Chains A and B, each alone.
Chain A
Amino acid sequence: MAWFKKKKELKTEKKVKIPEGLWVKCDNCKEIVYKKEIEKNRQVCPKCTYHFRISSRERLRILADDGSFAELDADLATTDPLEFMDNVPYAKRIADNRIKSGLNEAALYGDILIKGFPAVLAIMDFSFMGGSMGSVVGEKISRAAERALERRVPLITIASSGGARMQEGMFSLMQMAKVSAAIGRLRESDVLYISVLADPTFGGVTASFAMLGDIIVAEPRSLIGFAGPRVIEQTIKQQLPENFQRAEFLLEHGMIDLVVERQELKDTLAKLIGNFMPGAAAK
């Protein structure tokens, strides 16, 4: 009786042709917004505060004290250990993604100053193969954790990922164990680890370092989960509840500490570090 249930909501979406470049339609409220205004607003919609996905470079601009970020191990690359081949060889997929995204891999890390506090920061970038975690991402997160421990400064990670990278098979899965072990060493020290979750964070990244923060912060409305919503829907054959797997849903269920707007993130991080590890500023 599918025809019987087809009672559509009477809500007409505003259909407006958008001139290329100058104006952007917000994915959330569908309002047409002047692009420059969004950029000025740190890629947050001024009408509904929807947080657009942003690149790791933009995140650095927002978080780092001027010129303070020094990237490390930027040249790490995968060996394509399985010589994975689907329709396109994995090696070619990597090369294409590097051109398309202008990035070397799906994560970068380095030393940073946040309002004068030194820290080690690792950022994932969803535009490189969906932010998936293979050998390189796993290695960079592990090295970031080890460096934070060695320098006795906080570790901050910003996750945005579809999960483990299928093209590296078990090498990718084992990265989850590797990064969790590296966080495990931090857990036994007095070095603070703050995990920031951005839209979207799923699978092997959620089920490893992203959910292991001493403090876990998420951006508003971000989708965060273990299994993807489509997989869950297909498994249970039910519609998912409103707001399911959104940052606010995780907050309500006690899974994260804070939902923080992008504009406030730098301030929040600085306050947390200042309260937990004030000594770090002297370094």
Chain B
Amino acid sequence: MAYYLEFEKPLEDLENKIDALKRLSDGSDIDIASEIKNLEKKAADLRREIYSSVNPWQKTLIARHPERPYTLDYIGLIAEDFIELHGDRRFADDAAIVGGIGKIGGIPLMIIGHQKGRGTKDRIQRNFGQPNPEGYRKALRLMKLAERFKRPVVTLIDTPGAYPGIGAEERGQAEAIATNLLEMSRLKVPVLSIVIGEGGSGGALGLSVGDRLAMLEHAVYSVISPEGCAAILWKKGSGELGQGDFARAATALKLTAQDLKAHKIIDDILPEPLGGAHRNPECVGRKIAEYILKSLESLQGKSMSKLVDERYKKLRKIGGLTQIQNLQ
């Protein structure tokens, strides 16, 4: 059975009805095909209506949808000869970040991404997609390996954030992320990042410094979660905060792909099927593969020093700056 979000409830009722009718018509001679067709059209219209006006908080929920395709799903769909590589060679293999070498459209490249896990056991093993320092260090090891063999790096971003735990602090979570930011800014191969779900603050940024930054249509990317933002701003206990507070915070944070494109924080938006990526992962996979190939083509022929220089300038100009008149 499909999982529906709160605001999709009217759609759920309708689609359940369609399913029931389909079962009824199976093996019986009553002709209700036209009725089903009618309802299907109605469901499609309803879905279009709902999805034409999803607000930032609803988008956050779509981005976190439990059926949303994850990094390994896309790798399975679009990569050939993929071999996953493990471990940071220092401490452990963090299952919240996966990476490996494979081909997309015949081009060998390093694919690295957050992995949330599906099903309770897998989710726990992958720490719900919240990496520890060793995850970032594994990612960096793979990026430096890619650099040596002149393989482009593609990162898929999908995390609630880097894990806030005792071990993470002891082993230098901040240092691990900071080092990735620095090293990715200097990497002498093309680096492409695509936010496929949740872009959770520094934990997402630690894999997403590069030449191109794109987001799926319903992905979000934010400096803080709407829940965290609401708790800080409206200083209520977590029990007192409601959907309304989160919605207000999500709107204020401008975390949608559309807002971030308008602010030139990201370069491109990749469209999703109506109802979100989980409705047709193959179609989204194709869009991702096309985007990777198109971006690599546009970066082709640039010398590595020019590539790194342009990346620097791209990062360097981000900021809303002006001058104050009356200095203190």
Interface residues of A (CB under 8 A from B): 74-82, 84-87, 98, 102-104, 135-136, 138-139, 142, 164, 166, 168-178, 180-185, 187-188, 203-204, 206-212, 225-228, 231-232, 235-236, 238, 240-241, 244-245, 253-255
Query: Which residues of the other chain, B, contact A235 by a CB distance below 8 angstroms?
Result: 163-165
Shortest distance from the beta carbon of B125 to any chain A beta carbon, whole Å: 17
Residues of A within 8 A of B57 (CB): none
Most buried by B among A135, A184, A253: A184
CB distance from B143 to the nearest CB of A (A): 14
19 examples of A-B residue contacts, CB within 8 angstroms: A77-B322, A78-B321, A82-B263, A85-B252, A139-B319, A170-B223, A170-B265, A171-B318, A174-B265, A176-B205, A177-B205, A180-B182, A181-B181, A181-B209, A212-B182, A226-B177, A232-B169, A236-B166, A238-B166
Most chain A CB within 10 A, of B162, B177, B181, B223, is at: B223
Residues in chain B within 8 A of chain A (CB atoms): 162-166, 168-175, 177-179, 181-183, 185-186, 201-202, 205-206, 209, 221-224, 229, 232-234, 252-255, 260, 263, 265, 311-312, 315-316, 318-325, 327-328
Q: Which residues of A contact B182 (CB under 8 A)?
A: 180-181, 183-184, 187, 212
Q: Are A232 and B166 in contact (CB under 8 A)?
A: yes
Residue in A closest to B265 when the chains form the complex, CB atoms: A170
Q: Which residues of B contact A207 (CB under 8 A)?
A: 173-174, 177-178, 181, 202, 206
CA distance A203 to B202 in the complex (A): 8
CA distance A211 to B173 in the complex (A): 10
A166 touches B185 (CB 8 A): no
Residues from chain A with a CB closer than 8 A to the CB of B178 are 176, 180, 206-212
**B169 interface neighbour in A80, A170, A225, Cβ under 8 Å:** A225
A69 to chain B minimum Cβ distance, whole angstroms, is: 16
Q: A138-B319, A212-B179 are in contact. Are A104 and B328 (CB under 8 A)?
A: yes
Known: A170-B221, A185-B312, A209-B178. A81 touches B172 (CB 8 A): no
Partner of B316, one of A182, A231, A238, A240: A182
- Which 10 A-B residue pairings sit nearest by Cβ, starting from the closest? A81-B320, A227-B164, A135-B319, A180-B181, A181-B185, A79-B320, A206-B174, A226-B174, A226-B173, A77-B324
Residues of B within 8 A of A187 (CB): 182, 186
Q: Are A78 and B315 in contact (CB under 8 A)?
A: no
Residues of A within 8 A of B175 (CB): 211, 255
Name the A residues within 8 Å of B186 (CB-CB). Answer: 181, 184, 187-188
- Contact at A169–B222, with CB atoms within 8 Å? yes
A79 and B166 contacting across the interface, CB-CB below 8 Å: no
Beyond A104-B324, A177-B205, A241-B166, whether A87 also contacts B233 by CB under 8 A is yes
A171-B320 in contact given A180-B178, A181-B182, A211-B178 (Cβ < 8 Å)? yes
> Smallest Cβ distance from B212 to chain A, in angstroms?
14
* Nearest CB on A from B307, distance (A): 13
Kindly report which residue of chain B lies nearest to residue A204, judged by CB atoms: B202
Per a CB cutoff under 8 Å, which of B164, B209, B234 touches A177? B209
Q: How distant is B245 from chain A, measured CB to nearest CB, in Å? A: 11
**Residue in B206, B221, B222, B318 with the greatest tally of chain A CB atoms within 10 Å:** B318
Known: A166-B224, A173-B205, A245-B169. A102 touches B174 (CB 8 A): no
Q: A78-B321, A79-B321, A104-B328 are in contact. Are A166 and B232 (CB under 8 A)?
A: yes
Q: A81-B320, A171-B319 given as contacts; is B328 within 8 A of A103 (CB)? A: yes
Q: Are B223 and A166 in contact (CB under 8 A)?
A: yes
Shortest beta-carbon distance, A188 to chain B, in Å?
A: 7
Which single residue of chain A is at the shortest CB-CB distance from B235? A87
Closest to B168 in A: A226
Docked complex Cα distance between A209 and B181 (Å): 10
Cβ distance A226 to chain B, nearest Cβ, rounded Å? 4
Q: Is A226 a contact partner of B162 (Cβ separation < 8 A)?
A: yes
Chain B residues near A103: list those with CB within 8 A: 328
Q: Is B265 in contact with A75, judged by CB distance below 8 angstroms? A: no
CB pair B168–A173 under 8 Å, yes or no, is no
Which B residues are CB-close (under 8 A) to A136? 319, 321
Across the two chains, which residue of chain A brings its CB closest to B180? A180
Known pairs A169-B222, A174-B319, A235-B163. 19 more at Cβ < 8 A? A81-B320, A82-B254, A85-B252, A103-B328, A139-B321, A164-B202, A166-B224, A168-B223, A171-B319, A171-B320, A173-B202, A174-B205, A176-B202, A187-B182, A204-B223, A212-B182, A226-B164, A226-B177, A244-B166
Q: Name B320's contact: one of A135, A177, A184 (CB within 8 Å).
A: A135
- Do B202 and A180 touch (CB < 8 A)? no
Q: Which residue of B lies closest to A178 (CB)?
A: B315
Can you name the residue of chain A whose Cβ is closest to the Cβ of B170? A253
Closest Cβ of chain B: how far from A131's Cβ, in Å? 15
Q: Return the contact of B164 from the options A135, A176, A180, A231 (Cβ within 8 A).
A: A231
Give the docked Cα–Cα distance between A75 and B163 (Å).
37
Report Cα–Cα, A138/B315, bound state, in Å. Answer: 11
Complex Cα–Cα for A8 and B201 (A): 39
Distance from A26 Cβ to chain B, minimum over Cβ atoms (Å): 27
Given A104-B327, A207-B202, A241-B166; A172-B252 close (CB under 8 Å): no
**Are B164 and A169 within 8 A (Cβ)?**
no
Residues from chain B with a CB closer than 8 A to the CB of A180 are: 178, 181-182, 185, 209
